[in-house]
Structure formats: structure tokens, C-alpha cells
């Protein structure tokens, strides 16, 4: 089969590799029907994730058809249409028993396209198939469900639910990439008074208007803190969500939250960010952060099936599986191409 293989910083190739087979009896081998690229894959290609070594097949998001299953797989059958999630769960360890699958101690967590071969391939081996795949509901497209493999649960769990968004809240989201937009879409489910999108790119702010933001701020030109304070009688946002991953935006998010408010960090930070406790200690704020667990995936599947979230809005570009080079190029130049999510399909 063919797969997108990482060959060290800056190097990747769509090349011939052995087709995966069932190794452990809890595995499934899934034929990849639709797959996408994540911002994290771009980080890997820059060499930022040293756990990914030469020869690894990239990718941690897919929708596909089950080809074969191990003898220990009970719920997943050959021919099933399944979502392959970015998080794999052993289902039995302490963290899995608490729904914190991202922290799995039994060999799961974020492993696809990281510690083991991933989904950017014609076929993928999925460990712990019963607890790491989800049946695709009837009447929902592959590309819509594909958005539930990573970005939607991340924005919803690490942004909206950790931030405890409630009806009537003012929710400020710093960063309007796919993750920030997912947080905006998720926040809308709770009838907030306002969703404020903050980004440096006007193209991303235009997208934010389509994803539920009613106020957009370009913080390259405008003072985001002043605008949010004007909107809230000088108090600040009930919930500030950080969806960029650089020190400035984390500090901005902490300033945006009102006394008693919540700051939910989603961004993956590569550099130290300052926590200004000298200002924050008196403000009764709650700061949360974390890796997505994907415990919300069943809820999001029902919301997608009921058209309460329109996940296909993220898909800006389509490619065939053997066009990975072009797809990475378009996704990697999002500021010029307007790409949010690119989808590659076999058909
Ligand atoms: N916690 C998790 O489990 C998890 C999962 C997936 C992704 N992430 C992280 O979420 C973050 C966002 O991911 P994404 O795919 O949406 O990234 P992205 O790069 O597509 O979007 C980031 C956005 O931030 C904007 N931005 C950059 N600097 C800014 C600044 N100073 N002020 C305001 N806006 C600024 C950019 O214009 C861009 O629109 C990344 O750090 C990613 O690694 C976290
Ligand atoms: Zn990802
Ligand atoms: Zn586990």
C-alpha cells in the first residue's frame, strides 16, 4: 500500500510500504476512506516532536471501513464504517476508567502518527479497536465525521467544557484557526450572549463570523482587551479560551477574563509563558489546560447527526489520497490559501 512517511525534519514522501496486519487480538485494520492533516503534523515536520522518528507514517484522524479484526474485538465488525479518533484508549487503566483517555496508561493516548504508524495511508492498524473507534451514524458524510477525530472534541472539551461556558456568557476566543473555530462552534451550543473572536488574520476572522462569532477583533490593529472590557461594563469575559499556543496569547487570555472568570488554554506551548500571579491572585480566576480526551465524541456524533453542529463547514479543500504533497502545501500555506481543513479521499 501507499502511505505518507516521515523521514526527519522537512522530509516526507507518499511511498510504498507494507500493508498493516492485525498484531494484537484487540486490533482492527481499517481501510482509510477519508483522512485529514492537523496543525500538529506541520509541527512534526518541523522536527518539534522528537518522539516521531524516521519511517513513521503520519496522521491521527480518519474515517474508514473495517477490513479485519483480531479475535478479541467484540463490537467492531468487518465492513463497519468507523471514525478513527486521534486518541486511542485501552479502556481498562485508571485514566480510561475515568474517561481521561488522553492520559491512558495501558498503551493508548495520542499514539497514531506519533508513537505508531498513523492514518495518512491506504490502511491503518488501530489498537484497542473496541474503545478507540466509533460507529459512523447513518446519514452523515465521511468528511463531516472526520472533523470529530480531533478538532471538534478538542475545542469542545479543552475550550468550552473546561472553560464552563454557560448561557448568557461572554466568551472570548484568542486564535481563530480550526481549533479556535471549533471552540466557537461548541460555545454556541450554550447560548452565550457574545462570542468574541480575536486573531491577527482577517481571513480567519471572516471564517469566525461563519462559525458563531458575533464580534471579531484584529489584535494587530485593535486593542482586544479594551474592546472586551467595553462590552462587559469594564469587567472582562466570563470565559477566555486560548487557541494559539504562544506566550502573548496566553497572557492576553488571562487578562481578558473577568474576576471570577475562567481561562481555558488549548494551545500547545513550545516556549515558557508567564503566569502573572502578581495580577491574577486577587481575581479569583480558574485556569485550565490539557490534552483532548475525546470523551465527548459520542455527544458530538449525536449533535452532527441532528445537524446541531455543521462540521463540514471546516472543509475548504478536497484532494485524492495520492495528492498528499499538494494537500500539505495548501494546508501549510493557510494564510494564502484560506485553508481550514483539507480532506483526502480514496474515491
Ligand atoms: N490541547 C489539545 O489537545 C490540542 C489539540 C489540537 C491542537 N492543539 C493546539 O491548538 C492550537 C491551535 O491549533 P490550530 O490548528 O487552530 O492552529 P492554527 O495555526 O491553524 O491557528 C492559530 C491561529 O492563531 C492566530 N494567531 C497567531 N498569533 C496570534 C496572536 N498573537 N494573536 C491572535 N491570534 C494569533 C493565527 O492567525 C491563526 O489563525 C495549536 O497550538 C495546536 O497545537 C491543542
Ligand atoms: Zn491533531
Ligand atoms: Zn487506558
The pLDDT of residue 118: 98
For the CA of 245, the closest atom of ligand 1 is 41
Q: What 3-state DSSP class applies to 72?
A: coil
Count of beta carbons in the 10 Å neighbourhood of residue 53: 11
User: Can you list the residues of the chain whose pLDDT is less than 50?
Assistant: none
The pLDDT of residue 48: 85
Contact 346, 32 (CB under 8 A): yes
For the CA of 158, the closest atom of ligand 1 is 1
Q: What 3-state DSSP class applies to 325?
A: helix
- CA 112-113-117 angle, to 5 degrees, is 80
* Ligand 2 center to 151 CA (angstroms): 7
Kind plus residue range of the DSSP H or E element containing 249: helix 247-256
The pLDDT of residue 147: 98
Mutational pocket test of ligand 1: of 36, 150, 179, the residue with most ligand atoms within 8 Å of the beta carbon? 179
Task: 15-21: list long-range contacts, CB under 8 Å, 24+ apart.
Answer: 17/57, 17/121, 19/122, 19/123, 20/117, 20/121, 20/123, 20/124, 20/125, 21/68, 21/125
The pLDDT of residue 33: 98
Q: What value does the CA radius of gyration of the chain take, rounded to a whole number of Å?
A: 20
The pLDDT of residue 168: 98
For the CA of 182, the closest atom of ligand 1 is 16
* Ligand 2 center to 150 CA (angstroms): 5
* Ligand 2 center to 42 CA (angstroms): 10
Contact 110, 87 (CB under 8 A): yes
> Distance between CA 83 and CA 64 in Å, rounded?
7
227-272 pLDDT, tens digit each: 999 999 999 999 999 999 999 999 999 999 999 999 999 999 888 9
Contact 82, 76 (CB under 8 A): yes
* Ligand 1 center to 244 CA (angstroms): 3
Amino acid at each position: 500500500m501507499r502511505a505518507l512517511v516521515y523521514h526527519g525534519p522537512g522530509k516526507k514522501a507518499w511511498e510504498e510500504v507494507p500493508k498493516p496486519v492485525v498484531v494484537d487480538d484487540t486490533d482492527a485494520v481499517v481501510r482509510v476512506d477519508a483522512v485529514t492533516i492537523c496543525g500538529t503534523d506541520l509541527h512534526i515536520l518541523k522536527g518539534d516532536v522528537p518522539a516521531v522518528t524516521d519511517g513513521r507514517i503520519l496522521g491521527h484522524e480518519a474515517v474508514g471501513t473495517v477490513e479485519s479484526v483480531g479475535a478479541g474485538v467484540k463490537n467492531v465488525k468487518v465492513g463497519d464504517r468507523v471514525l478513527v479518533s486521534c486518541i486511542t484508549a485501552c479502556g481498562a487503566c485508571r485514566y480510561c476508567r475515568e474517561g481521561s483517555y488522553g492520559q491512558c496508561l495501558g498503551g493508548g493516548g495520542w499514539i497514531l502518527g506519533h508513537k505508531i504508524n498513523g492514518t495518512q495511508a491506504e490502511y491503518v492498524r488501530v489498537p484497542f479497536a473496541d474503545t478507540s473507534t466509533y460507529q459512523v451514524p447513518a446519514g452523515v458524510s465521511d468528511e463531516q465525521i472526520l472533523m470529530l477525530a480531533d478538532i471538534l472534541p478538542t475545542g469542545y472539551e479543552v475550550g468550552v467544557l473546561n472553560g464552563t461556558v454557560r448561557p448568557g456568557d461572554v466568551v472570548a476566543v484568542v486564535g481563530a484557526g480550526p481549533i479556535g473555530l471549533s471552540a466557537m462552534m461548541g460555545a454556541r451550543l450554550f447560548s452565550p450572549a457574545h462570542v468574541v473572536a480575536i486573531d491577527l488574520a482577517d481571513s480567519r476572522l471572516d471564517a469566525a463570523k461563519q462559525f458563531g462569532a458575533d464580534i471579531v477583533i484584529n489584535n494587530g490593529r485593535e486593542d482586544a482587551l479594551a474592546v472586551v472590557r467595553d462590552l462587559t461594563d469594564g469587567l472582562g469575559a466570563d470565559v477566555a479560551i486560548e487557541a494559539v499556543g504562544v506566550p502573548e496569547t496566553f497572557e492576553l487570555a488571562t487578562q481578558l477574563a473577568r474576576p471570577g472568570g475562567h481561562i481555558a488554554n488549548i494551545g500547545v506551548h513550545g516556549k515558557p509563558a508567564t503566569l502573572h500571579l502578581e495580577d491574577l491572585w486577587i481575581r479569583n480566576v480558574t485556569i485550565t489546560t490539557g490534552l483532548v480526551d475525546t470523551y465527548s465524541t459520542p455527544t458530538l456524533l449525536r449533535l452532527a447527526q441532528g445537524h446541531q453542529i455543521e462540521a463540514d463547514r471546516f472543509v475548504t479543500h478536497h484532494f485524492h489520497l495520492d495528492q498528499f504533497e499538494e494537500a500539505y502545501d495548501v494546508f501549510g500555506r493557510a494564510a494564502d490559501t484560506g485553508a481550514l481543513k483539507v480532506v483526502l479521499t480514496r474515491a
